[in-house]
A and B are shown apart, each in its own frame.
Chain A
Amino acid sequence: MRNYLSFEGLSWLVFVLFVIIVPLFLSSFYLRLMSLIGLYSLVVMGLVLLTGYAGLASLGQAAFMGVGAYTAAILSSRFALNPWLSMIAGILLAVLIAWLIGLITLRLKGHFLALATLAWGLVITGILRNWISVTGGNTGFGSATGNRFPPLSILGYPLRDERLYTYLIWFFVLLVLFLSLNLMRSRMGLAIKALRTGSIAAASFGVNVSQLKMLTFLLAAAFAALAGALFAFKELFIDPKIADLSTSINLLIMAVMGGIGSLTGAIFGPGLFVFLESFLQEYLPWLIGRSGNYEIIAFGFILIFILHRARQGLLPLLRDLLPASPVKPINHQAEPLPKRILDRAEGEVLLRVDDVSKNFGGLRAVDSLSFEVKRGEILGLIGPNGAGKSTMFNLITGVLRLSEGEISFKDSLISKLAPHQIAQRGIARTFQHLNLIGNMSLLDNVVLGGYGRTKANVWQGMLGLEGGERERARAEAHRQLKRVGLAEQSFERADSLALGKQRLVEIARALMADPELILLDEPAAGLRKHEKAELIDLIRKLKAEGITVLLVEHDMELVMTLCERIVVVNYGTKLAEGSPKAIKQNPKVLEAYLGSESASL
């Protein structure tokens, strides 16, 4: 029982048995509800990946259902294509459309995807309702309207029986749940979780952010289209209502009810919704004395109430009652991940910032700044507040595009590359404002840093076939945590740690990328005295291991103690450069920090 596999295996066993046994005792009415819950669950799981994990919202999921349903129905009736193949075609078409929508909106701020999918949903219903020769229009598509299409069949046996079809739907629900849970535990899944916390952070350990957002959106569309096609072959009749905006909104309500960040909630939410809806549909008209879909009033208020009072949805309230699942132990014998070969000489120029400028509107935040970082050194970049240090960090890591000048790393130009490409070249960073995923363990946070060193793709992730690599990454992450002295706390949640420790986790995560150059952005901010001392030891240790460090820090004591060379910037330009001793005595530096006497004329 204490074993990880058996615990998870047991939960699955219980769930699968439940799904197998329950339909045996259900009447036709309840079988229908159960099928409906299953179909909605498929769509909502996609929505949870998209909204709960990647932080994007779609108001057009029903439209993808519609594409799946209509494509499958039309192909299998008009073109007599095999129903299974029609279903796959429907999914592929939905994915293609999602790709086009993603292409024009995913680079914009998150809410534009919501607005674009809203418009897309209206467009597709408009087409389904009006392209009568192909879709049957408002009267629907199916044998009742002279467009007969065959049911799905397995080994020549057609699945017409309601109970059998419920099993089929729930087979897909279990499959998609299994794949999604695997995915969210995998390399790609961890990266998806990082998107919501901050895409700059995700990019800094090599995640191609727009590609990953796209991937999540495509998956969500595929799940929806699958549900749509299953619905079509269940009823053997479809009408445009399936693609309606109101259906999309209902799906969103289900996701919010179940807890937008929980895959199991993606089954709980639709369950609650379907029962509540059928209850309200029965009693509200009776109460109001007139027929109509008054349940939307209740759902409107429920949606608002949940967001106000139970943002995590209703399921976590239950989940707190269950024991937490034990974590999988780390296999310390796992083969180490591949390492970069540090074949070049100490002292050569590693990073060259050449005459770089950055304008924000009329403001010149960085003004013709040049400096070099040599391999093996600890270089401090200091200057008064607002001098342009953070901007410089963002320019080096590709978060900002420079206005003029060039930045090269190991003699190749990097200033035109995207942030994740720069990270892949061997530059890692930490953040002044901590960027850890609070509800994940330290170990998983650090594993994330190794994104660029691992390869498992989304399919391997979903099928759970990255085992070896994952073990290696976990072992490596554990080694990095040990390096910063936090191995003991590997399985604690990141947000349970004091700030000083969290800064160390960020460093471990940066180290996990096996960087040649590490950029530390105010690592000592908020640290206590003894924590600073530990930090100094750690940075020295890193240097001894051959890592080059570029340090932005306000704590002068730390900078003066650690750095061999210091570059002072003010007003975006270089004020001075030299050893700590020289910098301390430089009158220009003193003036920049303490201010000039002449200023108080």
Chain B
Amino acid sequence: MFEPAIILTLLIDGLTNGAIYAMMALGIVVLYSVTSVINVAQGEFVMLSALSIASLRAAKIPGVLYIAVVGLIFWSIFNALAMMRQGAAPRQLKIWPILWPLFLAGLLISVVPPLAKAHLPYPLQIFIAVVLTTLLGPICYRLVLEPLPKASILVFLILAIGLHLALTGLGLAFWGPQPYDLPPFSKGGMILGPAYVSYQALWLLAISALLMLALYLFFNHTIYGKALRAAAVNRLGARLMGISAVRAGRLSFSISVFLSAVAGVLITPITKMVYDFGFLIGLKGFVGAIIGGLTNPVIAALGAIFVGVAEQFSAFYISSAYKDVIVFLLIIPVLLLRSLQHQDFEEHVD
């Protein structure tokens, strides 16, 4: 029961899943800190990028392209409406904000389909899918969240639920209910002490570690990363220094969607992907994010890794049927602890 081989295998599986959850958790924390949006739809982008690669491999046009193109057309319309609402007469409209989304949409629709049919090498297919999916970040932000800049956390949460429904449903419409598989980056695996590790798991661990390092460097050593942190801790202060809240929101949504898109590429060769599977991955990332209080990235990432490991161990030692139940029960002690620490009547008093 407690042989080292088993424990090591569980640990490796736990870390692989945990790394994916950590990427979800980081995406959630980044977006929440900067915009107060609790993104329930974080996991949907995992599904979208993975299934888009599956389309490309079958020389089909990926559904994300259509989502992005329609989104950009609406972006253009929203820009025009926003200008009209500010009181500009139809003749005074600035033309560029209306045109550029249309240009981009035109570019995508003319470039991507030939590429899709071209049977490109696997890494290029991955690249195209990740880029297209990441593009959905700013589009979703512009269309769903930006129209209500001063909404409460609760309203943002419900908007994100709407986004989750729409994207899951579009996933179903484009790809149907069957699972899709992707080939691993390299086949086979290696013996690690008493256990076997697939090369894909090692790729996954290495790339996610690299991404987290990149994220750390971005937020701590670049001016854009610091600007995002500035917008997160003090939105007004940031605006006064020329850091636009809208741009910060779009950028942080792009980062969090990018993390999801990469996670989809990494995990699908191991677990396969179905249209509604991304949501569950996102929810487990949430448990990690809540452990980090939705704002602390380090604790959130560690919490998410713990979730992955706890999931594997409880699946093996307690019950595989109840592993999800156990994982979601983890947030109870976390919330209890926060609740007990709570002192003043309200967190923020003017």
Instruction: Give A residues with C-beta under 8 Å from B.
Output: 51, 55, 57, 59, 103-105, 107-112, 114-116, 118-120, 122-123, 126-127, 129-130, 199-200, 203, 249, 252, 256, 288, 290, 292-304, 307-308, 311, 390, 394, 398-401, 418-419, 433
Q: Complex Cα distance A399/B347, Å?
A: 10
Contact B324 A126 (CB under 8 A): yes
The smallest C-beta distance from A193 to any residue of chain B, in angstroms, reads: 16
A301 contacts across to B, CB distance below 8 A = 162, 166
The smallest C-beta distance from B348 to any residue of chain A, in angstroms, reads: 9
Q: B157 contacts which of A105, A114, A304 (Cβ < 8 Å)? A: A114
- Is B332's CB within 8 Å of the partner chain A? yes
Q: Complex Cα distance A118/B38, Å?
A: 13
Q: Complex Cα distance A302/B161, Å?
A: 11
Q: B322 contacts which of A130, A199, A290, A398 (Cβ < 8 Å)? A: A130
The smallest C-beta distance from A254 to any residue of chain B, in angstroms, reads: 12
The smallest C-beta distance from A202 to any residue of chain B, in angstroms, reads: 11
A394 contacts across to B, CB distance below 8 A = 349
**Quick one: which of B165, B176, B331 has the most chain A CB within 10 A?**
B165
- Is B329's CB within 8 Å of the partner chain A? yes
Contact with A along B306-350 (1 / 0, CB 8 A): 000000000000010110110011011001101100111111011
Q: Complex Cα distance A116/B339, Å?
A: 12
A103 contacts across to B, CB distance below 8 A = 339
Contact A119 B331 (CB under 8 A): yes
Ordered nearest first, which 7 A-B pairs have the shortest CB separation?
A: A300-B166, A300-B165, A297-B169, A303-B162, A126-B325, A130-B321, A296-B169
Contact B344 A400 (CB under 8 A): yes
Contact A111 B169 (CB under 8 A): no
Question: Which partner residue on chain A sits nearest B41 by CB separation?
Answer: A300
- Is B172's CB within 8 Å of the partner chain A? yes
- Stretch of B118-126, B146-154, B205-213, B224-232 at the chain-chain interface: B146-154
- Is B155's CB within 8 Å of the partner chain A? yes
**Quick one: which of B38, B172, B324, B325 has the most chain A CB within 10 A?**
B325
- Is B19's CB within 8 Å of the partner chain A? no
Contact A307 B342 (CB under 8 A): no
B344 contacts across to A, CB distance below 8 A = 399-401
- Stretch of B96-104, B131-139, B194-202, B283-291 at the chain-chain interface: B283-291
Q: Complex Cα distance A494/B62, Å?
A: 54
Additional A-B contacts beyond A57-B154, A119-B332, A299-B165 (14; CB < 8 A): A103-B339, A104-B339, A110-B154, A115-B290, A122-B283, A126-B325, A127-B325, A293-B169, A293-B172, A298-B169, A300-B167, A308-B147, A394-B349, A400-B345
Q: Complex Cα distance A55/B161, Å?
A: 17
Question: Which partner residue on chain A sits nearest B154 by CB separation?
Answer: A57
B335 contacts across to A, CB distance below 8 A = 104-105, 108, 112, 116
**Quick one: which of A120, A127, A303 has the most chain B CB within 10 A?**
A303
- Is B142's CB within 8 Å of the partner chain A? no
B346 contacts across to A, CB distance below 8 A = 199-200, 399
Q: Is the interface of A mostly helix, strand, loop or mixed?
A: helix
The smallest C-beta distance from B160 to any residue of chain A, in angstroms, reads: 10
- Is B144's CB within 8 Å of the partner chain A? yes
| With A110-B153, A303-B165, A419-B345: A294-B159 Cβ-Cβ less than 8 Å | no
- Is B4's CB within 8 Å of the partner chain A? no
- Is B158's CB within 8 Å of the partner chain A? yes
B172 contacts across to A, CB distance below 8 A = 292-294, 296
B173 contacts across to A, CB distance below 8 A = 288, 290, 292, 294, 297
B157 contacts across to A, CB distance below 8 A = 57, 111, 114
The smallest C-beta distance from A298 to any residue of chain B, in angstroms, reads: 8
**Quick one: which of B151, B153, B158, B322 has the most chain A CB within 10 A?**
B158
Contact A122 B144 (CB under 8 A): no
Q: Complex Cα distance A224/B242, Å?
A: 49
Q: Complex Cα distance A6/B153, Å?
A: 42
A115 contacts across to B, CB distance below 8 A = 38, 286, 290, 331
Contact A296 B165 (CB under 8 A): yes
The smallest C-beta distance from A137 to any residue of chain B, in angstroms, reads: 9
Provide a sorted-by-A list of 20 A–B residue pairs whose CB atoms are within 8 angstroms: A57-B158, A105-B335, A109-B347, A111-B153, A120-B328, A122-B324, A123-B325, A126-B324, A126-B328, A249-B161, A288-B173, A296-B168, A297-B173, A301-B162, A302-B162, A304-B166, A307-B155, A307-B162, A400-B345, A433-B350
Contact B350 A390 (CB under 8 A): yes
- Is B177's CB within 8 Å of the partner chain A? yes
- Is B164's CB within 8 Å of the partner chain A? yes
Contact A200 B349 (CB under 8 A): yes
Q: Complex Cα distance A303/B167, Å?
A: 13
The smallest C-beta distance from A312 to any residue of chain B, in angstroms, reads: 13
The smallest C-beta distance from A204 to any residue of chain B, in angstroms, reads: 10
Q: Complex Cα distance A419/B343, Å?
A: 13
| With A304-B144, A304-B162: A401-B332 Cβ-Cβ less than 8 Å | no
A292 contacts across to B, CB distance below 8 A = 172-173, 176-177
A294 contacts across to B, CB distance below 8 A = 169, 172-173
The smallest C-beta distance from A398 to any residue of chain B, in angstroms, reads: 7
Contact A203 B321 (CB under 8 A): no
Contact B161 A303 (CB under 8 A): yes
A399 contacts across to B, CB distance below 8 A = 344-346, 349
Contact A108 B147 (CB under 8 A): no
Question: Which partner residue on chain B sits nearest A398 by CB separation?
Answer: B345
The smallest C-beta distance from A60 to any residue of chain B, in angstroms, reads: 11
